[in-house]
Structure 1
Amino acid sequence: MTSRKRDPSLENGGDEGSAVPENKRTKPLHKAALILARGGSKGIPLKNIKTLAGIPLIGWVLRAAVESELFDSIWVSTDHDDIERVARSFGAKVHRRSPEVSKDSSTSLDSIQEFIRLNPEVDVVCHMQATSPCLHPFHLKGALEYITVKGYDSVFSVVRRHHFRWQEVHQGTDEVTKPLNLDPSNRPRRQDWDGELCENGSFYFCTRELLQSQGLLQGGKVAYYEMRPEYSVDIDVDIDWPVAEQRVLRYGYFGRDTPEVVKIMFCNISGCLTEGRIFISSSGTEMISLNTRDTAGIRMLKNEGVEVILLTSNLDPVAKALSQNVSHRLGCEVMSVHEKPLEDLKDIVKKRGLSWNDVAYMGNDEIDVDCLNVAGLSAVPSDAPVVAKNGTKYICKALGGKGAVREFAEHILLQKRKAKSQLEQDRIDRTTC
């Protein structure tokens, strides 16, 4: 076995099909992204909307699909109300699948065929797995071009594995195992072996014609799209979750507006730095508490050159009264905002010569939604109301006043290290090519 250079998306030959490139058609293809998200997951209940690295699992795939701007429509096929709400919050349409294709025995193909039957305008179905949170827009673009530009009927994602496989031996028999993909007397080194292409389950794209005429997701003129191992993440059981979370934090797609380096962070005192409770002493003095983990998180940001401005509202007199004490203790500016914080903060961002892509914002309620939407990085504590969660890019595991600010600070600094690492890798690539 010898090594050779590989194109990351080589075709895997198949029989010539009837696919016609989009530029040779009389009318453009309608390309629909479809994510199947049944509510009855047995391994992890409601797995598709469980929070992974700050957002619902299905949100990672939906974000990549929406921001790729490749699709004429983006759909989530589900039988569950909560999944429907999350899907719509990310901008997807919802196909309510029938009970006939919502059973434990139902296959993905059953659900996809029902979808195309009820949506006759769709020419190409781009089925993406909700359990593949490291999917990026560039993966989708590269794969879809096999159908729209090169005229293939189907394309699916693979990852290259270097695993030696052996034949299974059944218990209670005298069978002897045999090698399936190697010669034990001449074991190749990893660098001398190209490995094998294995489906990684991230996506399966195919034409409507293939689905209807042959009932197949993979057929006709077939291609594969090779994804690098770091992007090949799948989640089936609970033990996969912490591993996937760490992978996503490093290799996940956080959106096209994610800043490389945050320059300034705005953080609401009420509900983020405090836990929303008021303590009243025997003399009638009102008090609130600060968590040392959160104050340490603010100091971490300041030590890394991130300016932190704490926000208090005219509607919260206790937090406002505390502002002077907090400002002195943490060395941060404290600013009073009105019912629409975005209007108050625009001048601050402009005066510093920044764009909102340089800003991190942490809020906790409906009045924060506009800021959560426009900031490059944004977060809410885990006990924030749904309206705030739907507007943010990151949902903390911690509660307000109980470590949420520290968690978001660590997330901001992780993105900074990630960007620095990528710049260093790009430098190495340029000097070695």
Structure 2
Amino acid sequence: MKKIGFIPLRKNSKGITNKNKRKMVGRPLFTWVLGEAIFSELDAVYVYTDDEGIIDFINKEYHWTAKVKGVLRSAESATDTATTEFAMLEFCESINYDFDVFCLLQATSPFTTRNDINSCLDQLNPDYDSALTVVNTHRFLWNADGTPINYDPLNRPRRQDFKGLLVENGAVYTAKKSVLKKHKNRLGERTAVVKMPEDSLLEIDSETDWVAVESLLIERQKKTKQAAKITHVVLDVDGVFTDGTITYTKDGEHTKNFDMRDGMGLEILRQFNIQVMIMTSENSQLVAQRMEKLKIDHVFLGVKDKYTLLNSLVLKHGMSMSNVAYVGDDVNDLTNMCSVGWSLAPNNATDIVKQHADVVLSKPSGGGAIREACQFIMNYNKRF
């Protein structure tokens, strides 16, 4: 049974400029749901967009998986008046309905997890032809004419005794192929519901919404942290290995300054069987040469979605996020730092990173911060 995911994106956004590409906790908004879709039970995930920049991003960023495909949608399907169903059907016809199960995922629902996706897929059985995600809200609802909808005001129930209502949160919709062909709709005649946390009901339509959702995502990531032995250390480069400055000549990048003590610290870590990995958004030959000198084999250059790549490495190496220590300095490291077992930041990191780091080191980047981090990790691991 072939199960495909479908993420529709439009270039223009009315409420928040460039919303889909804007960084949410240091990651483009659409990558939150895309990353989870990659690690779900979907066989393929299509990002359907009129933004060629996003297609280029997908081709460069997710080269390590054949599961993700960027597809250019028609201008007609990307207008303000075009419905999501119009885009869905246009896409389905373009691939001759080559699937058994269709999963619509909304990029503006960053709370969606792989478990939510899988739960909706699992509901498609002989009893149900479609499924969607909902939130159980305990709000008391009223009509415009002043009449109550879902409770008796004269016998106001306690929250714990109130069943509430199930409300669509617009995150995940799954349907069998027959549903799309027959009804031209995301839902069929027998629909199952999958509950998601109440936070997922928040919509991102304003700057205030953006701040609220971002704060909730940060706290969600932090709640997954657990104490475990550190087996892998992941480090950013600029602003961690270096002081963040680069010297340029007319021929391009010329020099970066590295602290020799940092290299010694990493060598000592490897003597204790701790794997060292490098993950940087820059694609620098100077960095590649320095890491080769340090005999670091796992070097990932030009990475923009660091969290999804880290997830893939966790699965590949059979470890847990709790076994990872991460050293970063700027907002593009933030999701990883909120998710791993231990996060460490140089004392000259950006304020938002220091605010959420588990440890703010006493040394600056390029001035012994990594050496200090290595010592912390070795001391921490002694308890295990």
Provide TM-score, normalisation by structure 1: 0.62
Shift in CA distance, 260/237, structure 1 to aligned 2, threshold 3 Å: farther
1:184 aligned onto 2:153: yes
2:300 to 370, 388, 393: 370
Letter in 1 for 2:110: P
Alpha-carbon deviation of 1:86? 3.1
SS at match of 2:194: strand
Aligned counterpart in structure 2 of residue 334 of structure 1, from 257, 262, 272: 262
| 1:38-63 deviations in Å (ceiling 9; x for gaps) | 11111112211110001111111011
Is 1:350 aligned to 2:270, yes or no? yes
5 Å matches for 1:383-402?
none
* Corresponding position of 1:64: 36
SS at 1:133 equivalent: coil
Q: Look up the equivalent residue of 2:22 and give its one-letter code.
A: K
1:235 aligns with 2:163: no
Asked if 1:136 corresponds to 2:113, the answer is yes
Structure 1 363/237 Cα, relative in aligned 2: closer, same or farther at 3 Å? closer
Aligned to 2:144: 168
> Could you tell me which residue of structure 2 aligns to residue 43 of structure 1?
15
Are 2:4 and 2:102, in contact at CA under 8 Å, matched by a contact in 1?
A: yes
On the 8 A contact 1:272/1:405 being kept in 2, the answer is: no
Contact preservation (8 Å) 2:10, 2:51: yes
Instruction: State the 1:123 CA deviation.
Output: 1.9
User: Does residue 158 in structure 1 map to residue 134 in structure 2?
Assistant: yes
Question: Partner of 2:371 in structure 1?
Answer: none
**Matched residue SS, 2:141:** coil
Is 2:94 the partner of 1:125? no
Specify the alignment match of 2:220 in structure 1: 251
1:139 offset after TM fit, Å? 1.2
Change (3 A) 1:51 1:269: closer
Change (3 A) 1:105 1:59: same
1:272–1:362 contact (8 Å) kept in structure 2: no
Deviations 1:317-336 (A, max 9, x none): 7x34xx48xxxxxxxx4227
Residue 244 (structure 1) shift: 0.6
Give the letter aligned to residue 36 of structure 2. A
Contact kept, 8 Å, 1:160 with 1:198, in 2: the verdict is yes
Cα offset, 1:85, TM superposition: 2.7
Distance 1:360 1:250 in 2: 26
d(CA) in 2 for partners of 1:192 and 1:97?
A: 48
Q: Which residue of 1 aligns with 2:88?
A: 112
Deviation per CA, 1:194-216, whole angstroms, max 9, x where unpaired? 11000011111112211111112
| CA offsets 1:153-190 (integer angstroms, 9 cap, x no match) | 11000001011111115xxxxxxx21122211111111
Amino acid at match of 2:358: L
- Does structure 2 retain, via aligned residues, the 8 Å contact 1:78–1:95? yes
Q: Is the 8 A contact 1:44 1:236 kept in 2?
A: yes
Deviation at 1:34, TM superposition (A): 0.6
RMSD between aligned residues: 3.7
CA distance in 1, matches of 2:281, 2:337: 11
When residues 150 and 209 of structure 1 are mapped into structure 2, their CA distance, relative to the original with a 3 A threshold, is closer
Q: CA deviation at 1:150?
A: 4.9
The amino acid that maps onto 1:218 is L
Deviation at 1:316, TM superposition (A): 4.0
The answer to whether residue 358 in structure 2 is matched with residue 413 in structure 1 is: yes
Note the C-alpha offset of 1:84: 1.8
Q: Is the 8 A contact 2:105 2:171 kept in 1?
A: yes
The answer to whether the aligner puts 1:217 opposite 2:214 as a matched pair is no
User: SS of 1:106's equivalent?
Assistant: coil
After TM superposition, the structure 1 stretch with the greater mean CA deviation from structure 2, 372-381 or 221-230, is 372-381
2-side partners of 1:245 and 1:130: how far apart? 14
CA distance in 1, matches of 2:33, 2:54: 14
Whichever residue aligns with residue 92 of structure 2, its letter is I
The residue that corresponds to 1:94 in the other structure is: 70
SS of residue paired to 1:76: strand
CA contact 1:135–1:253 (8 Å) conserved in 2: no
CA distance in 2, matches of 1:113, 1:35: 13
How far 1:354 moved relative to its partner?
A: 2.8
Match in the other structure for 2:243: 274
Indicate the SS of the match to 2:206.
coil
Aligned residue for 1:103? 79
User: Conserved in 2, the CA contact under 8 Å of 1:274 and 1:401?
Assistant: no
**Equivalent in the alignment of 1:32:** 4
Q: Which has the larger radius of gyration?
A: 1
Change (3 A) 1:248 1:182: same
CA 235–100 in structure 1, closer or farther in 2 if over 3 Å, else same: same
Structure 1 residues 348 and 401: CA distance shift in structure 2, 3 A: closer
Please, which of 207, 211, 227 is the counterpart of residue 176 of structure 2?
207
Identity of counterpart residues, as a percentage? 26
Instruction: Report what 1:75 is aligned to.
Output: 46
Structure 2 residue matching 1:158: 3-state secondary structure: strand
| In structure 2, C-alpha distance between the alignment counterparts of 1:75 and 1:262, rounded to whole Å | 37
